[in-house]
Structure 1
Amino acid sequence: MAIDKEKLMIGGLRRLLNGTARMTRRGAGRIGYYLLSHPRRLEEDPAIEVFLEDADQATLRLNGMDIHTYHWPGDGPSVLLLHGWESSTARWFALFEPLREAGYNIYALDAPAHGKSGGKKFSVFVYCEILDAYFKKIGFAQDYWIGHSGGGMAAIYYCSRLGYSFEPKRIVSMAVPGEIENFIDKFCELVGANDRVKYGIEHRLNRKLEHRFADIRFTEFVKEVTVPGLIIHDEEDDVAPFSGAQKMHENWRGSKLVSTRGCGHSLTGDLVPAMVVEYLKQFD
């Protein structure tokens, strides 16, 4: 009989989290927060990662962490690719070729605790600090930032804060949750965690980062973003509800919302890369 290791692991997590929550909500919150802030690294897929071999790669020491960076030189405007949670630069394999064929000067990096970068802890706030250090290190910010999920969160949050001094000319936001609570809800759903676990995570988040779920709303952060952007979101996204994208569009001056159906949270297929290139080409 075949053993599904993924189901066994999830079942074990469910029992651990819910069992701990019966005794101490804060204890369960500590475990849940740890899992969320210490992402698993993806196994390498040589078939997908071939395009990475063509990049000029470098590891930069930023804020005490080794951050792995990629660059595919091109004659056109510069583009920065920002992946999300438990992902890596390899996730851009479908978008890379259309961007290169269009002549863009392409940059990417593996987020802290992801891909080939160092570090063990991850949050949108850490991501932004690394981005700021990266821009200072190379001396400029790329013209267009394309961020999927957590990468899009980082792009939006960075551009909404007055303390950061760089900004792009355009942002492409892909499958970004309107609120961080959407992401927490999906995590709890995946592992079968109950509400005591969820609110234990919120307590831990508040202790560690001095934020509650209600404080981390990208539907609100976009009100402070002065850079125009494209929002691409699937109507059937099971991680980040489409309603969040609609609210972001309402609150983000200069934004355009494009919906897909059947592409999921990952926004797979050939349609989305074509949308991105078509949008950016208007401003070259």
Structure 2
Amino acid sequence: MKRFLQKAIPKLYGFYFNLLSLFSQDKAASIALKVFSTPRRGRILEHQREFLNSARQQRITSEDGLYMLYHWKGNGPTVLLNHGWESNAFRWKYLFPDLKRLDLNIIAIDGPAHGNSDGTLFTAIKYSKLIKSTIALYEPEIIISHSVGAMATVYNEYHHPSPSLKKLVLLGSPNSLEVIMRGYQQLLSFNNRVYKGLDALLQKRFGYKIADFKTENFAVNITATTLILHEKSDAIVPVIAGKQIVQKMKNATFIETSTGGHSLHTNENTEHIVNFLKS
């Protein structure tokens, strides 16, 4: 029964969007975008608190209220860590011991509507504003970002280049919003009228049509030395995304890893990251 409901509920959403679009394409698109942008998971779980409470915590003003920043002080360069969709700053615990051994000054944040940050909606553009604020405060020389956090980081660097940034690590980054949106359409089975409404809404609200929002387009001006890691069998974001991004960058290395899936939480990938940071 549970599996049946998991399959049926998305189709019910799609049926509702299709029906609503017959009366108001704009309304159907607005609700479809809200559903798309609402995380189901990512808030702090009980077993995550001990690690996060070991940091100095700082709440910073954002358009949604306040967002949470975690700081583990080190004497080396400052590194900013940006998690992905339905995650939070705890996802960096696997990498934390190696970053501490390098004596890095570690900053991590919870994205909008994730972890201990306020808000109910999450988009790459909304996330990029938190990243921008954090960069202004701490001027990191290194940024490590995962999944949509990587997309948001590259978007921010395109619009607000960081003078302090020397090294960038992108982990399992998506490239094309169109691929993501077509997957959303397929999952919910909503029609092209709803999709076209979403396209028009995104252009009006954010200034980009769906087909034009690509990480590779925002990566072209990044001059920081960059490492892009992507697992060859990533089932969430296909490896082709990383290959497309690296082709547009001036000073980037792409490594197709053999372990870790989308999370990339393996010793192989940690070694790649550490070696890059030490080089």
| 1:34 match | 34
Residue from 169, 189, 194 that aligns with 1:193: 189
Identity score, percent: 27
Q: Deviations over 1:151-206 (max 9, x none)?
A: 11121111112x455541111001111211222233344x3434534444323322
| 2:149 match | 151
- Range with bigger deviation, 126-135 or 43-52: 43-52
Q: Deviations over 1:227-284 (max 9, x none)?
A: 22000011122232222211211110110001113422222322222211111011xx
| 1:111 match | 111
Give yes or no for contact 1:155–1:171 (8 Å, CA) kept in 2.
no
> How many residues get paired?
275
Is 1:206–2:221 an aligned residue pair? no
- Paired with 1:55 and 1:258, the residues of 2 have a C-alpha distance of 31
- Paired with 1:9 and 1:201, the residues of 2 have a C-alpha distance of 24
- Paired with 1:53 and 1:7, the residues of 2 have a C-alpha distance of 39
Unpaired segments of 5 or more residues in structure 2?
none
Determine helix, strand or coil for the equivalent of 2:230. strand
Determine helix, strand or coil for the equivalent of 1:257. strand
Give yes or no for contact 1:80–1:142 (8 Å, CA) kept in 2.
yes
Q: Which amino acid aligns with 1:125?
A: I
Q: 1:23 to 1:151 in 2, by over 3 A?
A: closer
Q: 1:132 to 1:23 in 2, by over 3 A?
A: closer
Q: 1:47 to 1:271 in 2, by over 3 A?
A: farther
Q: 1:208 to 1:7 in 2, by over 3 A?
A: farther
Question: What's the offset of the Cα at 1:124?
Answer: 1.8
Q: Deviations over 1:62-91 (max 9, x none)?
A: 346201110111122211100112221112
Is 1:84–2:84 an aligned residue pair? yes
Question: What's the offset of the Cα at 1:97?
Answer: 1.9
RMSD: 2.3
Question: What's the offset of the Cα at 1:24?
Answer: 1.6
- Paired with 2:46 and 2:79, the residues of 1 have a C-alpha distance of 24
Q: 1:14 to 1:277 in 2, by over 3 A?
A: same
Q: Which amino acid aligns with 1:34?
A: K
- Paired with 1:142 and 1:273, the residues of 2 have a C-alpha distance of 20
Give yes or no for contact 2:71–2:107 (8 Å, CA) kept in 1.
yes
Q: Normalising to structure 1: TM-score of the pair? A: 0.87
Give yes or no for contact 1:94–1:270 (8 Å, CA) kept in 2.
no
Give yes or no for contact 1:172–1:229 (8 Å, CA) kept in 2.
yes
Give yes or no for contact 1:89–1:110 (8 Å, CA) kept in 2.
yes
Unpaired segments of 5 or more residues in structure 1?
none
- Paired with 1:55 and 1:44, the residues of 2 have a C-alpha distance of 15
| 1:171 match | 168
Matched ranges for 1:64-83 at <5 A: 65-83=65-83
Question: What's the offset of the Cα at 1:118?
Answer: 0.9
